[in-house]
Amino acid sequence: MFENKVEVLNMARAMAAHAAARQGIIARNMANADTPGYRAADLPEFAEAWRSSGDTAMRMTRSAHLSGGRNTTLTAIPELGNVGPNGNSVSLETEMVKAAEVKQQHDMALAIYSSLSGVVRTALGRR
């Protein structure tokens, strides 16, 4: 009966992992703000990454069904933008805005997980 995981939990987990990976890239960008020739990078938005992961395709619910896989590899892509005289494209202001967005995304993933955990506990009578 409970062989398949709840899809909302999978999405919340993926959203938190995406936020963590994106925060790491943002931190690397900020650390290299003065490095000559460094190009800022970023990940695609979570919605785009989730759609491209193949999760919207058919899912296997029984062993006789078609199998599908999810591509969870996230690859940082260089950003196009203004390049300074030393060849560096990092804007600290832009990176700080991105860091705030990532924090909101991570907080949303945790709120979804916490809310669903509360629903499951209530259903099990373990409030």
Does some domain include residue 95?
yes
* Phi (first) and psi of residue 124, to 5 degrees: -90, -5
Assigned domain for 46 exists: yes
Assigned domain for 105 exists: yes
- Any idea which residue has 């398949």 for tokens? 4
**Own/partner long-range contacts of 5-12 (Cβ < 8 Å, ≥24 apart):** 6/116, 8/112, 8/116, 9/113, 9/116, 10/55, 11/50, 11/112, 12/109, 12/110, 12/112, 12/113, 12/116
87 belongs to a structural domain: yes
Mean pLDDT throughout 74-80? Answer: 74
Q: CA-CA distances (angstroms) from residue 64 to 3, 59, 60, 61, 68?
A: 15, 11, 8, 8, 12
Q: Give the chain's domain count.
A: 1
What is the pTM for the complete model shown?
Answer: 0.72
Residue 23 counted as domain residue: yes
Is the pLDDT score of 14 beyond 80?
yes
Chain segment 102-118, per-residue pLDDT in tens: 999 999 999 998 888 88
Confidence class for position 5, pLDDT limits 50, 70, 90? low
Residue 2 in any domain: the answer is no
Domain that holds residue 41: 7-124
Position 1 in a domain: no
